[in-house]
Structures are given as structure tokens and as C-alpha cells.
């Protein structure tokens, strides 16, 4: 499949792709979080790119950040300070966890990537005042972009961006659903490459490629149930394609996730009627919540347990970057909710690199072998579930 | 060991009164179920005045965390939280409190159970997660007072949002307490709160005298009242007395550290289980930690309060507190303190428990070195989890730092 290869290529070197966009004369705006208002950046004619904080731990981050900071934040800063982000003409920091909050300050004071904006989202995503505030914040962001780049973001361009992003998100949701029903249709690593590339590619090109890929995948559906126990990944932004391979070699397969490089990022559609900025805000308000935001004390537990049941998940792997406060605080209770639903789980805490392969393989294998056989079987006959909406 | 006269003199007589007040306060809180009063757990930087106006007893898990740390119970309790699945890298206040709540352990036999939870995220994101955990455990209403972070300024839309939440907060309290909010009473509480904050600032300012009548370690101790009873006349009365005592000490030349030669500024929360040790270690070098950024945070946003319109101005005052501003803004506060207290060096506590306070310290340190040209040092701990603290490493760092300070000689002070 040529389309698939294209995704794999982009995902393998997102920086190279972004540089090509830049060379074609378009400004590239980067961000580290799935709460970034990509649609507004796109509607402004700029190119939105998700960054992954893969600057490695060269030591340069030590000048600004202690060792007890997560590798995403450290890697992000290193990426910038070592010149790896020279293609950027701007960065956007949606407000989320305490570490990103301070990274934004350090970034503003020490790096120079042109346009800079803090999008100080509400922390509480419930109640009328927060809803209104979120709209106001996005309006401000739009004005900031307009005045810095000297352009106007028209209502029509916002609407058109919204339509593009809705198609992209619904394609990704459907690919996920297909993979859940027919796990052999794509490897976990392939699916992850698709998601990762989708955060980087030119969105019009992406929209067309995803639709074409989906067409091909629909054709291939029969007889591809795949082998292995049905697993779900839960965590922060996961940047480890090799984890999928390790899981598959251990007798498992990832059929669903709750990741910011997964369903948390693409779930939910934007209303195409009404005020476009308000509609963009509404989706951010209603989407699956990040643990650094508050919806209700039990929202994530209920959501994750429900998703696990819906997708016939036999076991959950929590994949956390070390030193991540919001996710670590949620872990004991999420584990409890899953336990109540009869779903076992394990925790893998990682830094920017995975631990030695032998060690991690043994742990995953042991976990998978302990899963009670047959629990996921009920799923094989599951009917066509509707797309996430 | 017999105390010398000088040592006796150095002890604060107000310390005793302070302990009494805190004991009374905890007794009242712990017997609330008998007196029919409601108890709210609230974050240390949270808007407490409306609670006082509603006769609700505010209880501060963070103050309790400090007690846990000071009584060396933090390591055990944190280990218990870890057994429940909480990572050792999380804030040790939160870990210790979570463990206490589940087993009624800890000092004073645990905190009284809350009737409601009030969480203001102007200090960190940790409190939001922590209060969600307690909301699940106690199954009581949770109000989140969301104060958007002010990287460079307090945006208009943020101001509107916070102001609207004050009304929502009052509505929340009326619902839980099943009675109307008394605005006149709240005005009075607001005035007392501001008065308390002014007095607290005056107390801290006494450290500008040479030699300083107090150390930051004293401030850590006396802080508990402005945190827990802000908005009551108890605070006003107590700090009035304490201020008197400071003045006496100044006029009698009683110094907190014998032969004060060097004056230092502390950044971040205290290392609760090594207060005395750190104080003695610095004192042995003739160094007095005269001030700190932490205790100052409880009077740092007074400038935004309008005495005649407390409820409205509260929005800004609670949003623009020390931890809710950008690193460069924090640095400016530190510059001002360096000048005001005429310090010779800056001691930064890199606190593994508190990421929002600690990330950015390296940048602040460089700014201080550039702009103020004074030496800085960093020591690391998990503020109430004593298990990870390395005394020998810390000692080596302090010795090396004091050597640099000594070589430069004390700053020519324009003593007050
Ligand atoms: S986990 Fe939260 S902070 Fe991290 S990318 Fe997702 S939304 Fe952003
Ligand atoms: S949410 Fe966690 S992993 Fe993501 S930036 Fe914050 S601390 Fe790091
Ligand atoms: S110590 Fe820091 S992280 Fe912990 S509750 Fe206080 S402000 Fe939050």
C-alpha cells in the first residue's frame, strides 16, 4: 500500500516534512499538546504541526530544568535549543500541566521561534463561565495570530477548516474502529504512524489520503482478525512506536487507546453551523478530557472503563512518562475502575527511551499470559459500532 | 543542654500563644460535628473569606502536610501512598494527606472530615488532582475556583471569568450551607483579611533591620495563622502582638542569629523535617536567612485588594499570586526582596514535590546573578518526605556556598 508507506515515511521524520512545507513558503506553527486550536492556525493559512519533544537528553535541558521533569518537556526544550526546530515560525502553548506551564515561560525567555502565544485555557471544563471563557481565549488567540502575521481569519476559512478537520477526525475514528474489529488489518506500529503523520501533514493532502486509505482498508476487512489478546493503551502523549511491536511479539495487540497521540486527540466532531470559534471551543470543552483538566472527579474512570468494555479489551497497559503529575495522580483510581469492570492492568513508566528490551518484553509477556483466556472472545461478533461523535 | 541567657532571649514569647491558637482552632474543627458547623477543606491559596463569612470552618490539608513533615511522619505516610499506587515523584503534601485520609493516621489523629471541598488552582495543578481524589473518597461537593495562569498579564477575559466564579462560589456555599450569603459580613471579613495581610507584611519587614530579629524559619512557623485564619480578628490580634515583639527585639538589638554577618534569601517551601538543622547549619556560618519568597506569598497580592470592594477585587488578588505568574515576574519579586532585605546570597530549594515552584529556578538564578551579582546555591529535597534527603550532600553544598560568600565579605549594609 503506497499510501501507508507515505504515512510511515512522514512519521519517521516529521521535521523533514515540516521543513519542506516551510520551503514551499508556508509558515509552520508548532505545539506540544492536543488542546492546541489547530483549526484556527490552519484557517489562517499557516501550517499547524504537533511536536513530540524528541530532542533527546543531550544535557542542554539541564541548564533550565531539573532532572525530575518529564522527558517530553526536557526533550522539547532540548529540541529547540539545539536548533532542531529551525523551521518554526511560531509556537503555541495551550495551558495544561504545571510542567508545560513553566516550559512556556522558559521557552518565551530563551528560544526564538517568532510568533509566541500562551493559550490559557480554563482548567475546569464544566459550567457556563468556563465555557464562555474558553471561547474568549480562542478569540484572543485568533486576534493574536491576525495581528502578528498581518492577516484576517475569515469566517469562511474557519468553516472550511472545520470541515477538513471533521473529515480527518472521522476517518481516523473509523480506521480505529476497523482496527478494533479486525485487528490484523494494520499493525499497531502502522496505525501509530498514521496518527503521528496526521499531526504533521498538509491537512488537505491528509484528508484525501486518509479517505483513500480508508477505502482500501474497507476492502481488506475480511479474515483479518489478527492474533493476540486485546489490549488498550492509556497514557500521556505516547511517542514509542516500538512498544506496539513489543506487545505484538508478546502475544497481544493494541485495539484501542486513551492517548493524546490517539483517541483523546481526534475524538469528537465540530459543529458545522453557528459561530465557528464557539464551535471549536465546544469540541475542546466536550472532548475526552486530559487529566490536567477537570470535568468531574470520575469522568476519566467512567470513560476509560466504558471504552474498554465497548472494545472487548482484555487488559490495559498504562504507558506513562515518568515525572508526569496529572497522569500519575489518576493511575490508582483508573486502575480501580478497570478492576471493578473485571479488566486487569499494568503500569509501564518510561523516560524518553524504553528500558532494555529484554526486561520490558518479559514484563509485557508476563502480563499477557496472566490474562484470563476468553474474556475478549465476546467481542468477535460485535456489530458495527457507530463512530465516535 | 542548659540554655544560655542569649539563647533564651532569642526565643519568641509569641510562639506559645501561637501554639494555643492553633490548638484551639484544631479542636474547634475536630468537634464541628458536635457544634453543627460545617467544615470545608480548602487549598492554601484559596479564597477563604467567603467561608469565614458563612461560618464554615476552613481546614487546610497543606498546613496539615507541614505538620506531618515537621513531625517526621512524612516518609511513612508517603510510603503508604506509594503502596496505593501513587508515584513517589508526586507532591509529598498530597501523598501524605491521601494516606492519612484513608487511615485516620498522622498528627492530631487526622483531619476532620469535610462537608465540602474548595480547590483554587492558583498554586498548582496538583491540588486539582488531589481534591478530585478526596471528592471521590468523601463523596462531598467540590468547587474548583479556576484562576487562569498569568504568564505576562491578567487578561480581560480571565478577569471576567474569575469574577463570575466568585458569584458561582457564593451560590455553591449557599447551596451547601442552606443559608443566604451575608454581604455585609463578608465586607467585614474582607477588611480583617486585608488587615491581617498588612500586619503579616510588617512582621516580615522587621527582618530588614540589622541584625535581623527573625529568620525565615521563624516565618515558616508563624505563617500558619495567616494561612488558616485569614479574615478573623484572631489573626489581627496575634500579629499585632507579634509585631510588638519584633519591635522590642529590634530596639533591644536581639538578633535571631548570634553575630549575624551574612544575610540570605530563601526560595521555595521549607524542608519541613530539617528546619532546625538548616537553621543551625547556616547560623554556624554567621548567616541568617532573613526572608523567603514562600511566606511572602500570603501578602504579595495586597496591592490588588480594594478595601471597600473586597469581593470584586478578590478576583485579581487571588489570581495574581506569586506562584500563578511567569518566571520573569517571579524574578522581579526576588530582585525587590534582595534589595529590601539587603541579602548577600540566594538559597534556592529545588523542591521535588513542587514543580511549579521549582521549574524555572535555574533561569531565575541566572537573572539574579546577572542583575544583582550575588552568589546563589541550590539544594534539593522532597519537602515532607525525608527519605530522599541527603544531609551530607546538602552540607557540602552549604559549606562551599558560604565559602564563596565569606570571600566576598558581607555586603556593605545601609542598616536600618
Ligand atoms: S496529556 Fe494533556 S497536556 Fe499532554 S498532550 Fe494531552 S492534553 Fe496536552
Ligand atoms: S502531561 Fe505529563 S507527560 Fe505531558 S508534559 Fe505534562 S508532565 Fe509531561
Ligand atoms: S507544594 Fe507545590 S505541588 Fe504541592 S500542593 Fe503546594 S503548590 Fe501544589
Provide the residue ranges of all domains of chain B, joining segments of one domain with +: 5-181, 185-408
Q: Which residues line ligand 2 (CB under 6 A)?
A: A 70, 72-73, 97, 99-100, 236-237, 292, 321, 324-327
According to the model, what pLDDT value does residue A222 have? 67
Tell me the pLDDT tens digit for each residue of B225-238: 999 999 999 999 99
According to the model, what pLDDT value does residue A57 have? 66
Range of the domain at A230: 158-388
Instruction: Examine the domain organization and report whether A228 and A363 are in the same domain.
Output: yes
CB contact under 8 A, A332 and B359: no
**Taking CB atoms and an 8 Å cutoff, what residues of chain A touch B43?**
none
According to the model, what pLDDT value does residue A377 have? 42
The region that residue B284 occupies, defined by phi over 0 for left and psi between -120 and 50 for alpha, beta otherwise, is alpha
* Alpha-carbon gap: B396 to the closest alpha carbon of chain A (Å): 20
Class of domain B5-181: alpha beta
User: Cα–Cα distance between B77 and B88 in angstroms, integer?
Assistant: 11
Tell me the pLDDT tens digit for each residue of B70-104: 999 999 999 999 999 999 999 999 999 999 998 87
- Predicted confidence (pLDDT) at residue B6 exceeds the cutoff of 60: yes
| Residue of B66, B122, B223, B269 best suited for mutating to test ligand 3, as the one with most atoms within 8 Å of CB | B269
Q: Which of B149, B355, B361 sits opposite A95 (nearest CB)?
A: B149
Residue B139 burial class via C-beta count within 10 angstroms: exposed 0-12, middle 13-18, buried 19 and up: exposed
A378 CA to middle of ligand 1, Å?
33
**What letter does residue A70 receive in the DSSP assignment?**
-
Nearest to B227 by CA among B166, B181, B296: B296
* Alpha-carbon gap: B359 to the closest alpha carbon of chain A (Å): 6
Cell numbers given for A57 = 537528553
Tell me the pLDDT tens digit for each residue of B269-328: 999 999 999 999 999 999 999 999 999 999 888 899 998 899 999 999 999 999 999 999
Instruction: Examine the domain organization and report whether A47 and A118 are in the same domain.
Output: yes
- Positions of E strands within B101-260: 116-120, 142-145
B124 CA to middle of ligand 2, Å?
14
* Alpha-carbon gap: A329 to the closest alpha carbon of chain B (Å): 6
CB contact under 8 A, B151 and A333: no
Instruction: Examine the domain organization and report whether A143 and A162 are in the same domain.
Output: no
pLDDT, tens digit only, all 389 positions of chain A: 689 999 999 999 999 999 999 999 999 999 999 999 999 999 999 999 999 887 676 689 999 999 999 999 999 999 999 999 999 999 999 999 999 999 999 999 999 999 999 999 999 999 999 999 999 999 999 999 999 999 999 999 999 999 999 999 999 999 999 999 999 999 999 999 999 999 999 999 999 999 999 999 998 876 556 679 999 999 987 677 689 999 999 999 999 999 999 999 999 999 999 999 999 999 999 999 999 999 999 999 999 999 999 999 999 999 999 999 999 999 999 999 999 999 999 999 988 777 787 888 999 999 999 997 655 444 443 333 333 32
**Taking CB atoms and an 8 Å cutoff, what residues of chain B touch A124?**
144, 146
According to the model, what pLDDT value does residue B352 have? 97
Reported as type and span, the H/E element at residue A91 is: strand A88-94
Q: How would CATH label the architecture of B185-408?
A: 3-Layer(aba) Sandwich (3.40)
- Predicted confidence (pLDDT) at residue B337 exceeds the cutoff of 90: yes
Q: From A150, A166, A188, give the residue that closes a domain.
A: A150
Nearest to A153 by CA among A163, A162, A143: A143
Cell numbers given for B372 = 544583582
CB contact under 8 A, A102 and B327: yes
Among chain A residues, the shortest Cα distance to B162 is held by A129
- Predicted confidence (pLDDT) at residue B129 exceeds the cutoff of 70: yes
According to the model, what pLDDT value does residue A54 have? 77
Q: Which of B126, B158, B360 sits opposite A105 (nearest CB)?
A: B360
Bridge partners (DSSP) of residue A47 are A28
Nearest to B283 by CA among B253, B252, B261, B266: B261
Atom 7 (ligand 2) nearest CA: A324
Instruction: Point out the least confidently predicted range of A96-110, A211-225, B117-131, B142-156.
Output: A211-225
According to the model, what pLDDT value does residue B140 have? 98
- Overall average pLDDT of the B52-71 stretch: 95
The verdict on B123 touching A (C-beta cutoff 8 Å) is no
**How many domains are contained in chain A?**
2
Cell numbers given for A273 = 453551523
The verdict on B362 touching A (C-beta cutoff 8 Å) is yes
Cell numbers given for A19 = 521543513
Cell numbers given for A151 = 492577516
Instruction: Examine the domain organization and report whether A334 and A224 are in the same domain.
Output: yes
The verdict on B187 touching A (C-beta cutoff 8 Å) is no
Q: Which residues line ligand 1 (CB under 6 A)?
A: A 33-35, 96-97, 100, 236-237, 260, 290, 292
- Predicted confidence (pLDDT) at residue B62 exceeds the cutoff of 80: yes
Instruction: Examine the domain organization and report whether A15 and A99 are in the same domain.
Output: yes
User: In sequence order, what are the residues at sequence separation of 6 or more whose Cβ sits closer than 8 angstroms to the Cβ of residue A33?
Assistant: A93, A94, A96, A100, A237, A260
Instruction: Examine the domain organization and report whether A370 and A249 are in the same domain.
Output: yes
Return the CATH number at A165: 3.40.50.11900
Among chain A residues, the shortest Cα distance to B158 is held by A133
Instruction: Examine the domain organization and report whether A317 and A174 are in the same domain.
Output: yes
Instruction: Examine the domain organization and report whether A268 and A337 are in the same domain.
Output: yes
- Overall average pLDDT of the B333-346 stretch: 97
Q: From A150, A174, A208, give the residue that closes a domain.
A: A150
- Overall average pLDDT of the B45-62 stretch: 96
Instruction: Examine the domain organization and report whether A241 and A180 are in the same domain.
Output: yes
Instruction: Examine the domain organization and report whether A167 and A312 are in the same domain.
Output: yes
According to the model, what pLDDT value does residue A223 have? 58
CB contact under 8 A, B129 and A326: yes
Single pTM value for the model: 0.95
Q: From A83, A116, A150, give the residue that closes a domain.
A: A150
Write the CA distances from B198 to A33, B23, B201, B243, B305, integer angstroms: 41, 24, 5, 11, 11
- Predicted confidence (pLDDT) at residue B209 exceeds the cutoff of 60: yes
B320 CA to middle of ligand 2, Å?
24
Instruction: Examine the domain organization and report whether A23 and A125 are in the same domain.
Output: yes
Interface test with A, best of B78, B92, B151 (most A CBs within 10 A): B151
Instruction: Examine the domain organization and report whether A352 and A248 are in the same domain.
Output: yes
The verdict on B92 touching A (C-beta cutoff 8 Å) is no
Return the CATH number at A58: 3.40.50.11890
Fold agreement (B5-181, B185-408): yes
Amino acid at each position: 500500500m503506497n499510501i501507508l508507506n507515505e504515512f510511515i515515511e512522514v512519521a519517521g521524520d516529521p521535521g523533514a516534512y515540516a521543513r519542506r512545507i516551510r520551503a514551499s513558503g508556508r509558515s509552520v506553527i508548532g505545539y506540544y499538546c492536543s488542546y492546541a486550536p489547530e483549526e484556527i492556525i490552519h484557517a489562517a493559512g499557516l501550517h499547524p504541526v504537533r511536536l513530540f519533544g524528541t530532542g533527546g537528553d543531550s544535557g542542554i535541558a539541564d541548564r533550565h530544568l531539573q532532572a525530575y521533569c518529564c522527558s517530553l518537556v526536557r526533550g522539547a526544550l532540548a529540541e529547540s535549543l539545539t536548533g532542531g526546530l529551525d523551521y518554526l515560525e511560531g509556537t503555541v502553548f495551550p495551558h495544561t500541566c504545571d510542567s508545560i506551564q513553566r516550559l512556556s515561560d522558559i521557552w518565551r525567555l530563551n528560544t526564538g521561534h517568532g510568533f509566541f502565544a500562551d493559550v490559557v485555557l480554563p482548567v475546569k471544563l464544566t459550567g457556563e463561565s468556563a465555557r464562555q471563557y474558553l471561547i474568549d481565549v480562542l478569540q484572543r488567540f485568533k486576534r493574536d495570530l491576525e495581528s502578528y502575521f498581518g492577516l484576517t481569519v475569515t469566517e469562511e476559512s474557519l468553516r472550511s477548516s472545520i470541515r477538513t478537520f471533521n473529515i480527518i477526525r472521522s476517518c481516523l475514528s473509523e480506521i480505529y474502529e476497523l482496527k478494533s474489529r479486525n485487528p490484523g488489518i494494520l499493525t499497531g506500529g502502522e496505525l501509530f504512524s498514521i496518527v503521528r503523520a496526521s499531526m504533521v501533514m498538509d491537512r488537505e493532502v491528509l484528508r484525501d489520503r486518509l479517505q483513500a486509505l480508508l477505502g482500501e482498508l474497507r476492502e481488506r476487512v475480511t479474515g483479518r482478525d489478527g492474533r493476540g489478546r486485546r489490549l488498550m493503551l492509556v497514557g500521556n502523549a505516547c511517542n514509542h512506536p516500538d512498544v506496539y511491536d513489543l506487545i505484538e511479539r508478546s502475544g497481544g495487540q493494541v485495539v484501542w487507546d486513551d492517548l493524546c497521540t490517539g483517541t483523546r486527540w481526534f475524538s469528537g466532531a465540530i459543529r458545522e453551523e453557528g459561530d465557528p470559534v464557539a464551535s471549536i471551543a465546544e469540541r475542546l470543552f466536550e472532548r475526552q478530557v486530559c487529566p490536567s483538566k477537570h470535568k468531574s472527579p470520575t469522568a476519566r474512570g467512567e470513560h476509560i472503563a466504558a471504552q474498554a468494555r465497548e472494545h472487548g479489551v482484555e487488559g490495559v497497559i498504562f504507558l506513562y512518562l515518568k515525572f508526569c503529575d496529572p497522569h500519575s495522580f489518576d493511575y490508582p483510581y483508573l486502575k480501580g475502575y478497570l478492576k471493578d469492570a473485571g479488566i486487569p492492568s499494568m503500569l509501564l513508566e518510561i523516560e524518553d527511551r524504553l528500558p532494555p528490551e529484554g526486561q520490558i518484553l518479559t514484563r509485557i509477556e508476563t502480563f499477557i499470559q496472566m490474562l484470563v483466556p476468553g474474556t475478549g472472545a465476546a467481542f468477535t461478533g460485535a456489530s458495527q459500532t457507530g463512530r465516535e461523535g | 543542654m542548659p540554655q544560655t541567657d542569649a539563647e533564651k532571649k532569642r526565643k519568641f514569647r509569641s510562639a506559645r500563644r501561637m501554639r494555643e491558637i492553633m490548638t484551639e482552632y484544631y479542636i474547634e474543627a475536630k468537634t464541628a460535628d458536635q457544634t453543627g458547623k460545617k467544615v470545608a477543606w480548602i487549598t492554601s491559596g484559596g479564597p477563604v473569606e467567603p467561608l469565614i463569612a458563612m461560618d464554615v470552618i476552613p481546614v487546610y490539608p497543606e498546613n496539615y502536610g507541614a505538620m506531618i513533615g515537621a513531625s517526621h511522619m512524612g516518609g511513612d505516610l508517603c510510603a503508604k501512598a506509594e503502596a496505593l499506587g501513587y508515584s513517589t515523584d508526586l507532591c509529598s503534601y498530597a501523598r501524605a494527606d491521601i494516606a492519612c485520609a484513608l487511615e485516620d493516621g498522622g498528627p492530631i489523629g487526622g483531619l476532620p472530615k469535610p462537608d465540602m471541598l474548595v480547590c483554587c488552582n492558583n498554586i498548582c495543578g496538583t491540588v486539582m488532582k488531589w481534591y478530585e481524589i478526596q471528592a471521590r473518597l468523601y463523596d462531598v461537593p467540590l468547587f474548583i475556583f479556576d484562576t487562569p495562569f498569568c504568564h505576562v498579564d491578567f487578561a480581560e477575559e480571565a478577569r471576567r471569568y474569575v469574577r463570575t466564579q466568585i458569584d458561582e462560589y457564593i451560590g455553591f456555599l449557599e447551596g451547601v450551607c442552606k443559608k443566604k450569603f451575608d454581604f455585609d459580613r463578608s465586607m467585614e471579613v474582607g477588611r480583617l483579611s486585608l488587615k491581617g495581610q498588612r500586619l503579616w507584611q510588617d512582621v516580615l519587614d522587621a527582618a530588614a533591620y540589622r541584625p535581623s530579629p527573625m529568620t525565615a524559619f521563624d516565618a515558616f512557623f508563624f505563617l500558619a495563622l495567616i494561612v488558616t485564619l485569614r479574615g478573623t480578628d484572631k489573626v489581627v490580634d496575634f500579629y499585632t502582638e507579634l509585631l510588638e515583639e519584633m519591635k522590642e527585639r529590634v530596639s533591644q538589638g536581639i538578633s535571631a542569629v548570634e553575630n549575624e554577618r551574612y544575610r540570605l534569601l530563601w526560595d521555595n517551601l521549607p524542608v519541613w523535617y530539617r528546619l532546625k538543622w538548616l537553621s543551625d547549619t547556616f547560623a554556624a556560618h554567621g548567616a541568617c536567612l532573613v526572608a523567603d519568597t514562600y511566606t511572602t506569598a500570603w501578602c504579595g497580592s495586597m496591592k490588588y485588594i480594594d478595601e471597600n470592594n473586597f469581593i470584586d477585587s478578590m478576583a485579581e488578588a487571588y489570581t495574581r499570586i506569586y506562584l500563578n505568574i511567569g518566571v520573569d515576574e517571579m524574578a522581579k519579586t526576588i530582585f525587590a526582596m534582595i534589595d529590601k532585605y539587603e541579602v548577600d546570597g540566594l538559597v534556592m530549594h529545588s523542591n521535588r514535590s513542587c514543580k511549579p515552584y521549582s521549574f524555572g529556578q535555574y533561569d531565575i538564578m541566572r537573572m539574579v546573578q546577572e542583575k544583582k551579582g550575588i552568589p546563589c546555591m541550590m539544594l534539593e529535597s522532597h519537602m515532607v518526605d525525608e527519605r530522599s534527603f541527603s544531609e551530607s550532600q546538602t552540607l557540602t553544598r552549604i559549606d562551599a556556598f558560604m565559602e564563596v560568600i565569606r570571600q566576598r565579605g558581607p555586603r556593605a549594609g545601609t542598616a536600618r
